[in-house]
Structure 1
């Protein structure tokens, strides 16, 4: 390195002319410098005064930046610069050069100008690159003079020459003397530039404020910010992130990625991105009152795992600036800039305007969103109000939810009548099919209100939100189903009618507002409550129709007694048994011949029981077709078999909390007997084709004219069912064993059928009563009723003086069976005594024993005398 040449002040003056020229030059330069306002003017004036007197190629001024101990180009002689055509010219213009290298240190320590031959210094270690660049363009020597401000170096003036030795001692003296004036001029230029920049910033902010004031939408904000940012020293792009409704994450709102703006993969990822606020970058920016500058590599090395750092690195971003967007005390988001130079006041001004616009847009969006949601809920309400059935509701719900940001209905469950279990009411079958989950198999095990998730939902005021990914990791049973949708959250809410929980609803969505959730749930709750009420009304209507049919049928068949007719000894035994069993829930088995009044006794038991307020349901087992017995008794679901077009309630359900009368139980097939036994034992049933167990509380009364013990021995009746039914047997006596009740029954039926037929029968002839008592009545009370009805229709006056008793009966044919192994005389004697008893001892005349035996009265007297029959035998 060439040593510094001595300054001109150290040499004797050549002549008075030289000194005068120097003074004149300094005076002219001084006058010129005081006029300098623009940075380019300084070099023009300097060259104008110097170049005619001294040889040089071009001049530049550099300024020191003490923050990073560098110096940078400030004033450039663009017209005369020898290196303008060099490929590295722009690099040199924008580079920063270190103060900590030997050449610059020598300049800083020198008291005046100091020159160097480039050939000697350009290849020294740490020498700035502009030495070689100038040398390559013909420059051979450089003269550098430090510029001072307030006793501290503020920069350098560089003077270049293509001829070695161009910088004479006179020129050095001039440069030394003029350096203070140049320093003042440069300082003034800097101040002027600062003032101009502030004016530009004010003008810029005014223009930006004017532009931002017209912003009403997200798109308008993007255009305004893009235009403003492009006026800064911006490199590649920007992104504004907005704080999401959860106040825990942020998502890109508007952005410009420069060359990457049209990469669909990147844009798509940005549209879906949600970044946690506390990621080590965003939280720092939101908590900082000033902009923060980050280096991508350095933040990654620090262990910051924010995913966008890797994306930015892949896109070539090195440094980025983060500025919070804050309005009053509320943070709205962050502006990230790919920028190198930081003008803090300007950026803060820009961000203040953006914050106001962002707050306004968000407020407008909220208003618009609420208006849209309210309009949506109004439309939804209209659709829901038209739903009359579960299918109508499902169609409306599925149609509407498709409009709400890809919302999926996973499940609606309703609480059963027991208030404990929940049954599926509505679900999206496609979700289960996609997840390969068997819905029917899963729904067999009904959940209860105590199930963990259900209990939490029902106890919540406004419902709960579950993250699908977290639930999937925890192994929740339904998480596999939820995950197939690709949606982030599950919203579980209680369905309430008034203050009463009626079920739960499970919705899948990325994000749903509270207003939307509450509106949807209240509408669906109301619709379900209405549908349930309608279904119950329909069920009640059907039940009433069935009960009405039963009543009509029973009005035709029952005897309509205010109480049972008959007060004989045999009936007194029956009454006593009825009084003993009526108040209990015990099963009663009524035994007796056909027509003895088993149904009437069953009704009497029911009417005397605590269940009297409800209808007694009757089933005639003998009248049921074999293929419909199960459906008739236990009911069936729609589609359970061909022809099952609707749900049907069975007789057991119909008789719940009442009495079920199973008439002719002995006629029930064995297969039906086993199913009946199970229902009696378990007190529960399942409808044909159904999947749910129904609890029942039914009091059973069974009746039969068969000998069930004999049926059990013959294998036609199950022994276990017989023992279940034979809890409290009551045997009803045949009419022939209670002849003392025949007269009362006769008068009752005469009154009944006189009223029904319009005949006025006021009297029954004594001979009629005698005839009725003497008859064996194989058909019992029913036969007596029908005989009286026929006789009334045939009567011609107000007296019933004749009855039409059948001449041949099954009882007559069966009578000899009781007389086997006896002599003819014994049989004849017993038979005559029995006939005399039935005829109350009357031997001849109407209704007498002679009439029944079809022999003359005298002949009967002779036979009685011959066989030794006295009054004591038949009047005992």
Structure 2
């Protein structure tokens, strides 16, 4: 073999051949490698395609098998068979939560592994909470398409809560495991755990595994929904069946049998109790007690059944606040101080758990359902929901039974009332009625020794009216003496008469009314006396007193006793019919007269309100008047209104009344100048029948009529002196005395007086009492004459034009300037009243829509103001009035009354004219 250094010395031909050979050799190798590479790629692609097609075929077959699965057992078996076929696993565990999401079911494969595991773990499905296992499984990484994560079984042997599982897996040689999470959207459906031996771990073909787990999740979700739908359907059918059965129940016995036959077996409870709330809302009574709870060893059983108990205890107060069932440990409850009887009894009966739920109609709690269990483990979440559904059905049944009981009770009560009413209705004799009452009261209530007392109108005195004639006290001289005498009401009756609106049964614990009744009570210490008010309607009231041995028994029949007392009141009314009819006729007649009087004044008030809808005026004088009215209206002070005639004194008085606290009462008006002197006293204070000639009936005076209202004394200056004294006394003492009456009558009246006279001058001249003047002059209001506030004339004129235009049907809406100037220049001696009448007259005489002329008394406007003071003969009002009356009497040739007489022309009653003639001192010789 030649050395490398010998190459150059070799021939050129040999060197070239070797070089070409090597070059061709490398080219061939490179070509073959490229061909091999292409062939390898084609082979791998064919294998991947075949693998994908195989996985699709596997998933399709699995889908068909899953579709045939009807329950979780079939489903897990199908998944296990596929996983075992296509993956090199040694074991499989599937963990699925139950409906309560607190416990779980476990499926282990192969089957023999599950059987072996059952021998080492008791109560497999509830060995530990799913709520504790789930966080551990969620913490472990789940296999996905790119990462294969495996966990060592030995690391989890000592971890809770799955210790037994991990130990068992490790003992079987399953050293590794992987976790596949089963989900449907965000909902966790469970987990698949794949177990491997150390040497058998291989490629899991993650895509295929995820496809299988996805199909498994969908199928599992569908089965869960089908199971839930089936459970709900069965529950609804059961509830419907229970509802049908409950609907037919009509009494407690049927309900008790239904609960015993259906509920107790269904719920797995020992026994139940139903409590019903009383009307006070604070107590309850046992409505239904389970017969299984009745034992001779329980002496408090009858106390629980027959007594009322408070609702606000440890258990029921919490139950009332929620509609879901509550669970209590009877052992803990029994340790409380003085536990309720229903807890004590059932703790003694070896019960462990009390489940309570309220029975409610809307927000109203009707009662409670109490269910007792010996073992808490028998109460599941599904059972709690079912009990909540049953409680609604049970509430309806209890309400129906209570309603039936109420209907039956009312029917029995009506029957008894009808029998009682038929027995006493035809009786009109007191003694016969007493005998009948004795029989009926004893038969219905075991009542004895009854007495019915009539009460006086003021309810301070009483009088025996009906009583048991066979009783011992009926022969007592003291009692017999009091039969015709009204006696002061004893203290033990006062509580009864204070309950007039709602009569109730009361025990008469104070001193007995009669000593003989004390003796009766002493002979029988078990018998006490009780009483109840009897409402006689408009006839007043009465009280029935009687003896009875048992107040609690009597109290239970209180409503029936009230109804019986109503029937007794009818019988009493029938017996007193004649006496009451006469009394009622008198009262009716009195009220009729009073209503007639009030009607007259109400009509007058309506007319006045319509005529004086508002006070017109913006002048300074009127503004001052308005301020004074506003200041005094809210008080009860006496007001004296001063001013000339026609200035609106009555209108101001009504304004004060309408703005006072008495505005809802009458304002009674009395014109002191229009009434004859001999009738003013009767008008003001009223009179009794026969008090004077012509007094054929009793008459209510203006003071009584205005009680709690306002009395307006118009023209107070015209009142005779002899009546001023009586008026002063009525104002000071706030009491009156009718003419011919014997007693005084208290009145609450606000006084408003008015006059056009100068009362101070009248006092000085002795025609008006000074003390009455000072009593009236507390708050004087002076009304200015129209000539002193001429700036108000345009407003007043416009107001009256609008009123009388509507009244007369004219279309007058303006007034001429000349007419307005004439009115402003005129002195208006008649003030606003004169202005009103002149405008009414002018409207009637005008034409067109403008009032161009005001027909003043003189053809020349302003004539009065134009007359000088020297041409006016100054006279007093009385002198003018006397002169005018004399002129009219002369014109009528001295004839005072009748058509065309002086009184007719003057527009006053003949009696008023005679009064004025007497006061002014007009004699017959003056007419000559």
TM range (shorter): 0.3 to 0.5
Task: Give the structure-1-normalised TM-score.
Answer: 0.43
Task: Give the structure-2-normalised TM-score.
Answer: 0.40
Q: If each structure's helix is expressed as a fraction of its own residues, which one has the higher value?
A: 2
